Amino acid sequence: MQAIVNVKGLTKQFKNLTAVQDLSFSVNEGDVYGFLGQNGAGKSTTIRMLATLISPTDGEIEIFGLKLEDHRNEILREVGAVIEKPDVYKYLSAYENLKLFARLSGVKITHEKLMKQLDQVGLASRAKDTVKTFSQGMKQRLGIAIALVHNPKLIILDEPTNGLDPQGIADIRNLILHLSRDLNKTLIVSSHLLSEIEQVATRVLIIDKGKKIIEGNAEELFDPAQTIVELQTFDNVYALEQLQISPWNTHLQKQRDTAILIKLDRQLISQLHRDLVDMDIQVLSLQPRHSLEDYFLQVTSGNQHVDTYSN
């Protein structure tokens, strides 16, 4: 599958705060890429760099094979984004909002196409109603319709279910699945809710304090038979060197603070322990996490950076 987003060594520094640090990831065509982390983890800062709302301190962003800093306008013509709450005119109708934003985007669009866009987000029956009468979930869906008005290849949604009631969350979830499965769109969806990402994502990236913790296919990460093991040793540098030249290399994840992270079937934990002894690795602790949810809560707990650009 072709990668349409490539991020390498992305860093954003705000005075004494490093909001994003040496972050690298790729998004393939057709992905619903779940960008997961607690509030303040650096998600909004990263998304704002992807949307060119702020500039990176260091690193590279390529979208559609082009460098973002050199081909900004060309790339953004194929990108739709809803960053935080959608910016819509509450005294205009849904239809008037969509028509206005289409005109501002330089898109010539017929009445039929405007109604089709509203129908795709479940708002056709409320097309003539003013936005001030809408629930937050309906405003969010209108924001997504506006992001889609120029038929982008890539859609970026920053915390699209924030502040919504259960029905609103379900509506947005179904809309994301519709955009992916029926319209073949590629999406990047950020959230601090693992349960929501689990239901829509094809691939997942977890970040904490601006750093990548784990990345992989959702099917594998959410496999209940798989366990994340935290390994602490007397010499992690030596331990990593030995693991990287062993069959366990394919199970290695990101090193976090003083722990080496290994993802494996829980039945293999005893074999891992025997192999660590054979490799003369002195183990301080070998601690399995029982599920990705348990692991996610554990690695993203404690003091967080305050994300300057998040709510």
Each residue's pLDDT tens digit, 195-246: 888 889 999 999 988 999 888 888 877 777 778 888 999 998 999 999 999 9
Buried b (16+ CB within 10 A) or exposed e, 126-140: bbeeebeebeebbbb
Q: In angstroms, what CA-CA distances link 32 with 63, 109, 152, 155, 231?
A: 16, 27, 15, 9, 31
Phi, psi for residue 261 in degrees, rounded to 5: -100, 130
pLDDT of residue 302 exceeding 70:
no
Q: Which residue has the tokens 């038979």?
A: 225
Quick one: average pLDDT of 258-263? 83
For the chain, the C-alpha Rg in angstroms (whole number) is 21
| Mean pLDDT of all residues belonging to the chain | 87
| pLDDT value of position 130 | 94
Report the alpha-carbon distance of residue 263 to residue 31 in Å, rounded: 22
Quick one: average pLDDT of 92-116? 89
| pLDDT value of position 52 | 94
pTM comes to 0.77
Each residue's pLDDT tens digit, 142-165: 999 999 888 899 999 999 988 888
pLDDT of residue 308 exceeding 90:
no
Domains of the chain with bracketed CATH: 3-213 (3.40.50.300), 225-290 (3.30.70.980)
Buried b (16+ CB within 10 A) or exposed e, 25-34: bbbeeebbbb
